[in-house]
Chains A and B, each alone.
Chain A
């Protein structure tokens, strides 16, 4: 009896170790491509890759979708094994990754593919990958904060004129004060932090000064004060209510969410909507705070030159054929795609319909932008709803960002 138990246990452990001895090696003839594109986005990317592999390239692409890609990137970079050949990262990660030395420049790729250059992509999408004159990324898209509007509601209240100049101002929204039926609201608080960051641009401010974070500024204060007016007037969906769902149920004029939501709104029967720019503090300027999905190569000594050539070929294919990606609701970065008449069928083509629109897509490239955004997101709702003192909170936010930066820089000194 005694022996049986011991033997069976040992057997289990031995079996478990032996069965796993055969680990998977890295394939020389496949480009392992990691993306954080879950949901339908992943399916569109899958289709693009399937199309590419169908062209019989020398090196095929294998798409790996990961739900928690950045944590996973940390784990593989630490263990040094299993680093993907190509990945899609977000614009706000680029400066940090470059500083930490984990991105490989795209130099070889660009040399082999002359068409992959600055002029063939939306300028700000390309520029986010340029650091000190070196190109680290190639853009797939711009995804932006956008304002959806409920056509029926605008008509009901006879305020379709708000849209005339493509910019809805805070004053225009305030003009509705006291005129709404109960349960109707002018705007929701979806992605409120992004809206705040857009107003900073509209007000001519910035989030940095000489490389130092500038959160406690006049522009920030004014941005919050202006947005707070809307909430104070009772025109914003109530604090703690799901404004996104309220827009879908048809009770809200404007929803300040993202390009990617258009497919979801379209799935709601009876919701008659279209898209415009994020509301602004002034009629003279409008900004849509944006980010970008970028192709990047994480540091990996084992990546052969042939593979980099293969990556180049794949990126060139994407540049020419990423119309599929427009289905995801994103603003495709390749000019060849957005200049194709077919692209105008997509709602988001609004944002590339003229120069002024293209300029309105603003991507923050400040090194510590993620910390600033985190501070804004943490405190924005409470400020706008008047739960906290504005001046005091701006100081806290400034300190929040400075403390985080101080922790980050200690190691690199």
Chain B
């Protein structure tokens, strides 16, 4: 018995460590590349660490404050992504509850129809989407970034799937106690799906943070742009990576906030929730 656990422990370690090494090397290589000069990047041979560590890439990025107010962009992104994430959590928890635990006619048909529609790749949809944003007066405002994404089906699907895994006995016993749907939603279901809401929140934040196609279309004001769209302005017209170290540096600067958020979220989406004991209690 004890032996079994130790074998499986070593297997688990072996698997994880091998994977982590494979995953970490490119990340480290990317980070160290941001401290390399172009001459070093293009010199033959693979070196994980730079021969000469230079800060030039970062000073160039951060120094270019007139055309590229990168700190401002970071603040814009922070506002957009936070507002978006907050609203996403409200919308998906309500909607997910509606599609999994309420009974109304055509519920599943409606849900799957919406999901199906959302599977159509939007290519030229850009044009009508822009027209809608324009009609709402949202061009060049943060709302164009915050609101449309709330319509997405992915997170609702995930929340619905999670809620389906919660035993119905829970609602029923609450209902017997005289609770209505809002009460069950708020005090029975919400606490139970907190981990998945945190996961969805994390995904939404990162998704909103990393979106670069849409902000390029809806923003004209450099000062109002989120950071990913702004960083595109630093690349050259031909989309070439003329300065490899700089591109790496800007990518790393842009991911610091999302990484911090991840570290924070990590503590919370693994809260133990014991469904079975919940029923007993």
B38 at the interface (CB under 8 A from A): yes
Give chain B residues whose Cβ lies under 8 Å from the Cβ of A37.
237
Partner-binding segment picked from A202-210, A259-267, A361-369, A377-385: A259-267
Contact with B along A14-28 (1 / 0, CB 8 A): 001101111110000
- In the complex, chain A residues 4-37 whose Cβ is within 8 Å of any chain B Cβ: 5, 8-9, 12, 16-17, 19-24, 32, 34, 36-37
**A78 on the B face (CB < 8 A):** yes
**For B16, what are the chain A residues with a Cβ–Cβ distance below 8 Å?**
none
- Are A81 and B134 neighbours in the complex by a CB distance under 8 Å? yes
* Contact across chains for B229 and A67 when beta carbons are under 8 A apart: yes
Residues of A within 8 A of B44 (CB): 183, 249, 251
Instruction: Decide yes or no whether B236 CB sits under 8 A from chain A.
Output: yes
Please give the distance in Å from A102's CB to the nearest CB on chain B. 14
Binds B, one of A39-47, A92-100, A168-176: A39-47
One of B38, B43, B130, B143 near A264 (C-beta < 8 A): B38
Q: Is B140 an interface residue (CB 8 A)?
A: yes
B216 CB within 8 Å of chain A: yes
A65 touches B233 (CB 8 A): yes
Distance of A68 Cα from B220 Cα, bound (Å): 11
Say yes or no for A269: interface residue by CB 8 A criterion: yes
Contact between B216 and A68 (Cβ–Cβ < 8 Å)? yes
CB-CB contacts of B143-186 with A at 8 A, as 1s and 0s? 10011000000000000000000000000000000001111011
B131 to chain A, nearest CB (A): 5
Chain A 307-340 residues near chain B, CB threshold 8 A? none
**Within the assembled complex, what's the spacing in Å between the Cα atoms of A101 and B20?**
57
Looking at the assembled complex, report how far the CB atom of A266 sits from the nearest CB atom of chain B, in whole angstroms. 10
Instruction: Indicate if B113 sits at the interface (CB-CB under 8 A).
Output: no
Q: How many residues of A contact B (CB 8 A)?
A: 55
Which chain A residue lies CB-closest to B66?
A46
The reply to whether the CB of A79 lies closer than 8 angstroms to some CB of chain B is: yes
Please state if A249 and B217 are interface contacts (CB–CB under 8 Å): no
Nearest-neighbor residue (CB-CB) of B183 within chain A: A1
A64 CA / B139 CA spacing, docked (Å): 14
Residues in chain A near residue B143, CB distance under 8 A: 16, 19-20
Given contacts A71-B126, A249-B44, A38 and B236 within 8 Å (CB-CB)? yes
Asked if A82 is at the interface of the complex by the 8 Å CB criterion, the answer is yes
Q: Could you tell me if B87 and A72 are in contact, using CB atoms closer than 8 angstroms?
A: no
A353 contacts the other chain (Cβ, under 8 Å)? no
Cβ of B22 within 8 Å of any chain A Cβ, yes or no, is: no
Tell me the residues in window 59-82 of chain B with beta carbons closer than 8 Å to chain A beta carbons.
64, 66-67
> Which residues between 228 and 260 of chain B lie within 8 Å of chain A, taking CB atoms?
229, 232-238, 240, 242-243
Would B136 and A20 count as touching, CB distance under 8 A?
yes
**A244 → chain B closest CB, angstroms:** 8
Across the interface, name the chain B residue whose C-beta is closest to A44: B67
Q: Given that A43-B66, A78-B131 are known contacts, is A2 also in contact with B217, CB under 8 Å in the complex?
A: no
CB <8 Å contact, B242 and A68: no
Hey, what's the 0/1 contact readout for A337-363 against B, CB within 8 Å counting as 1?
A: 000000000000000000000000000
Q: Does B18 contact A (CB under 8 A)?
A: no
Bitwise, A242-267 to B at CB < 8 A (1) or not (0) is: 00111011010000001011011001
Type the 1/0 row for B210-234, where 1 means its CB is closer than 8 Å to any CB of A.
0011001100111000000100111
Look across to chain A and name the residue whose beta carbon is closest to the beta carbon of B231: A67
Least Cβ–Cβ distance between B179 and chain A, in angstroms: 10
- A43-B66, A78-B127, A271-B39 given; A258·B217 CB < 8 A: no
Select one of B67, B130, B138, B182 contacting A65, CB under 8 A: B67
Q: How large is the interface on B (under 10, 10 to 19, 20 to 34, 35 or more residues)?
A: 35 or more
CB distance from B14 to the nearest CB of A (A): 34
Residue A268 is within 8 A (CB to CB) of chain B in the complex? yes
Q: Is the CB of B131 within 8 A of A79?
A: yes
Q: Is A75 an interface residue (CB 8 A)?
A: yes
Compute how far the CA of A244 lies from the CA of B242 in the bound complex, rounded to whole angstroms.
9
User: Which residues from A are CB-within-8-Å of B235?
Assistant: 38-39, 67
- Which residues on A sit within 8 Å (CB–CB) of B140? 24
B242→A75 contact, CB < 8 A: no
Partner pick for A261 among B137, B222, B242, CB 8 A cutoff: B242
Query: What is the CB-to-nearest-CB distance from B93 to chain A, in angstroms, rounded to a whole number?
Result: 10
Task: Give the residues in chain B near A12, CB-CB below 8 Å.
Answer: 87, 90
A245 and B138 contacting across the interface, CB-CB below 8 Å: no
- A68→B217 CA distance, assembly (Å): 7
- Is A211 engaged at the interface, CB distance under 8 Å to the other chain? no
Q: Is A74 an interface residue (CB 8 A)?
A: yes
Q: How far is the CA of A384 from the CA of B113 in the complex (A)?
A: 49
**Chain B contacts for A260, CB-based, 8 A:** 236-238
A39 and B131 contact, CB distance less than 8 A: no
For residue A46, which residues in chain B have a CB less than 8 angstroms away from its CB?
A: 66-67
Would A64 and B37 count as touching, CB distance under 8 A?
A: no
State whether the Cβ of B21 lies closer than 8 Å to any Cβ in chain A. Answer: no
Are B42 and A249 in contact, CB atoms less than 8 angstroms apart? yes
Counting CB contacts under 8 A, is B32 at the interface?
A: no
Contact call B134/A79, Cβ cutoff below 8 A: yes
* Residues of B with C-beta under 8 A to A23: 137-139, 141
A20-B141 in contact given A12-B87, A46-B67, A249-B42 (Cβ < 8 Å): yes
6 more A-B residue pairs beyond the given contacts A5-B94, A16-B146, with a C-beta to C-beta distance below 8 A: A24-B140, A37-B237, A38-B235, A183-B44, A249-B42, A264-B242
The 5 closest A-B pairs by CB, nearest first: A2-B182, A39-B236, A67-B232, A23-B137, A249-B42
A-B contact pairs, 26 of them (CB 8 A): A21-B137, A24-B139, A32-B220, A38-B237, A39-B235, A39-B242, A40-B236, A42-B67, A42-B233, A64-B221, A65-B67, A67-B229, A68-B213, A75-B130, A75-B131, A78-B127, A81-B139, A82-B220, A248-B38, A249-B44, A261-B242, A267-B243, A268-B38, A268-B42, A270-B39, A271-B39
Instruction: Give residues in A with beta carbon < 8 Å to B.
Output: 1-2, 5, 8-9, 12, 16-17, 19-24, 32, 34, 36-43, 46, 64-68, 71-72, 74-75, 78-79, 81-82, 183, 244-246, 248-249, 251, 258, 260-261, 263-264, 267-271
Q: Which residues of B contact A (CB under 8 A)?
A: 37-39, 41-44, 64, 66-67, 87, 90, 94, 126-127, 130-131, 134, 136-141, 143, 146-147, 180-183, 185-187, 212-213, 216-217, 220-222, 229, 232-238, 240, 242-243
